[in-house]
């Protein structure tokens, strides 16, 4: 009987913790160290099927970089590091579970020197992702991913925002 009660308690606790970290529209969700603001994405008051997930301490989200030029593009210093950030965060089985969601969009907030300062995510409204998984991914990205900034005078720029979609099917193939 004790074994049954212990097992039941563990199952209930894990379900509660997982449910508590689900990303719900217009909510605040706490992972281990990071708290995320989760907002339903709308355009002209019409909801889309996406959620914006942003670290509450992200000071770049919603700001426009100085001297933004939409024609600027910035390659990764080493694209394999983004792949590594995903593979150390998600198992192959977990990526397979995420396939119906198709992708996750990431906005990288990058310093003029190419360092990732912060990130924000755009995910499917009914995502299976948890706040803990996004926290692990965010930490892995900040620790390893960087960009090649090849501007002559970066003094005119405070940061850059670089959007990048990551397709789950490509992750399974080992590409980004």
Pairing of strands 103-110, 35-43: unpaired
pTM for this predicted structure:
0.85
Residue pair 76/147 in contact by the 8 Å Cβ criterion: yes
Closest by Cα among 62, 174, 167, 40 to 107: 62
> Quick one: three-class SS letters along 24-69?
CCCEEEECCCCEEEEEEEEECCEEEEEEEEEECCCCCCCCCCCCCC
Mind listing the pLDDT tens digit of every residue in the chain (176 residues)?
Answer: 555 544 443 443 443 344 457 899 999 999 999 999 999 998 888 888 999 999 999 999 999 999 888 788 899 999 999 999 999 999 999 999 999 999 999 999 999 999 999 999 999 999 999 999 999 999 999 999 999 998 766 678 899 999 999 999 999 999 98
- Counting Cβ atoms within 10 Å, is residue 19 exposed (0-12), middle (13-18) or buried (19+)? exposed
* C-alpha dist (Å) from residue 174 to 64, 85, 95, 147, 154: 33, 12, 11, 20, 34
């Amino acid at each position: 009987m004790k074994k049954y009660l212990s097992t039941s308690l563990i199952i209930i606790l894990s379900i509660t913790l997982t449910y508590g970290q689900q990303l719900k529209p217009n909510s605040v969700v706490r992972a281990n160290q990071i708290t995320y603001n989760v907002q339903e994405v709308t355009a002209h008051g019409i909801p889309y099927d996406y959620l914006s997930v942003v670290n509450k301490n992200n000071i770049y989200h919603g700001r426009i970089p100085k001297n933004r030029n939409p024609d600027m593009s910035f390659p990764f210093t080493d694209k394999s590091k983004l792949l590594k950030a995903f593979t150390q965060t998600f198992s192959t089985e977990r990526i397979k579970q995420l396939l119906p969601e198709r992708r996750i969009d990431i906005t990288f907030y990058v310093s003029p020197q190419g360092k990732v300062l912060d990130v924000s995510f755009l995910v499917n409204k009914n995502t299976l992702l948890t706040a803990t998984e996004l926290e692990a991914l965010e930490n892995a990205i900040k620790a390893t991913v960087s960009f090649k900034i090849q501007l002559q005078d970066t003094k005119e720029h405070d940061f850059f925002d670089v959007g990048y979609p990551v397709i789950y099917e490509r992750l399974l193939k080992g590409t980004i």
